[in-house]
Amino acid sequence: MSLKDATLMVENVSKRFGDFAAVEDLSFEVLPGRVFGFLGPNGAGKTTTIRMIVGITAPDDGKIELFGERMSPDLQDRIGYLPEERGLYKKMKIVDQLSYFAALKGVSRSKAGERIDFWLDRMNLKEWKSKKTTDLSKGMQQKIQFISTVIHDPDLLILDEPFSGLDPINVEFMIDVLSELKARNKTIIFSTHLMETAERLCNDILLINKGRKVVAGSLREIKESYGHNLIALRCTGGDEVLGDRSIVVKVTEHADEKEVELADGVDAQILLRRLVDSGAVINKFEAVEPSLNDIFIEQIGGQK
């Protein structure tokens, strides 16, 4: 897919606050219909970047294009943004709040009414329509906030820690909802600290630290590029093969299996062939991918 079709294109963007460079020369693109994981430690510049994307602040340098156009107030209506720091009017009826957010996104009143009903129904919150925020539990409030993000049927969703404050059942529920949106070819930018969730949901990953890009690409490619030298092995025999330091650097014994670290430049197939030749009985032979968590720690931990 060419860059022209990208939902979002960020090109050499920088943002400084006084002497502090929050984002420096950052470039990436988000393709339509994909879930894009935007990861990084606290203070990495994620929120600053997102605020530039949604048009709250403008970059000092570089350019941001959405749907092939330069960012403008009109384009804000095609984005649904769920900030990490978010809230609702305390003493206002849910339906009134949602109507207001819809009106601010340029949705007509009759259409807003339909969509509010649809989403409250989808979120199982129908009977809370005329209640006030203070009557709702924190999880319910999170769902209402999510509705306010999608009420104008945006093409691009930017969700910053969307699952905070939700119990595991509701997290699964929300993942289902996100899958539905993805199936409708919506693009989702997803920012989180929960690597397991990111690993489950994201097609593409961007990891930034100190305002700069650290790792970028599809989840598949990234994992493959990090995970070629670890093998999970369960077998009987073949001990002298595993003791050969020219192909195996280290063997770690786990409860019922071994983790084998291959020497640099040694293909897993060579080890497998040698083990079979040595007459070992192999029950499990798996190239282990590092988890996103491992990659995160490896990349950020060292730099910190």
Partner 1 sequence: MRKFLAVVRHEYRKIVMKWTFLIGTLLFPIIGIGFAVVPALLFSLKGEPTRIVVVDPSGRIEPRLRSNLSAESIEAKIREAAKNSSVDITASQEEQLKKGAGQLATGFVFIDHDTGGKTDDDIRRDLNARAAANEIDGYLMIPADITQPNVRYEFRSRKAGDFIANDTLEDALNAAVRSERLAASNIDETMLKGLSRNVQLQTLSLSETGEEKDSGMLYLASLVIGMMIYITLTIYGQVIMGAVVEEKETRIAEILFSSATPFQLMFGKLVGVALAGLTQLSIWVGSIAALMAFLASQSDGAQLLAALPNITPLMLVYFFIFFLVGYFIYASIFALIGSMVTTVQEGGQFAFPPIMIMLIGFYFCFAVIRDPNSSLSFWVSIAPLFAPMTMPVRILAEMPPFWQIALSIFLNCIAIAGLVWLAGRVYRVGMLMYGKRATIPEVWKWIRQA
Residues within the interface to partner 1 (CB under 8 A): 18, 51, 54-56, 73, 76-77, 79, 81-83, 85-90, 92, 96, 100-101, 103-106, 145, 148
174 with 165: CB under 8 angstroms?
Answer: no
By beta-carbon proximity to partner 1, the closer residue of 163 and 296 is 163
Q: Which of 83, 57, 27, 29 is nearest to 211 (CA)?
A: 27
CA 241 to chain centre: 41
Minimum distance from residue 160 beta carbon to partner 1 (Å): 9
User: Using CA atoms, how far apart are residues 169 and 172, in angstroms rounded to an integer?
Assistant: 5
Minimum distance from residue 216 beta carbon to partner 1 (Å): 24
User: Using CA atoms, how far apart are residues 45 and 48, in angstroms rounded to an integer?
Assistant: 5
Minimum distance from residue 75 beta carbon to partner 1 (Å): 11
By beta-carbon proximity to partner 1, the closer residue of 13 and 219 is 13
Minimum distance from residue 46 beta carbon to partner 1 (Å): 14
Minimum distance from residue 7 beta carbon to partner 1 (Å): 16
290 residue type, one letter: P
User: Which run of H or E residues covers position 24?
Assistant: strand 20-30
Minimum distance from residue 273 beta carbon to partner 1 (Å): 57
By beta-carbon proximity to partner 1, the closer residue of 157 and 300 is 157
By beta-carbon proximity to partner 1, the closer residue of 78 and 234 is 78
Long-range CB contacts for residues 117-124, cutoff 8 Å, separation at least 24: 119/147, 119/150, 119/151, 120/94, 120/147, 122/177, 123/147, 123/177
By beta-carbon proximity to partner 1, the closer residue of 7 and 229 is 7
By beta-carbon proximity to partner 1, the closer residue of 56 and 281 is 56
Find all residues with CB under 8 Å of 199, minimum gap 6, and list them. Answer: 219, 291, 292, 293
Find all residues with CB under 8 Å of 165, minimum gap 6, and list them. Answer: 138, 139, 141, 142
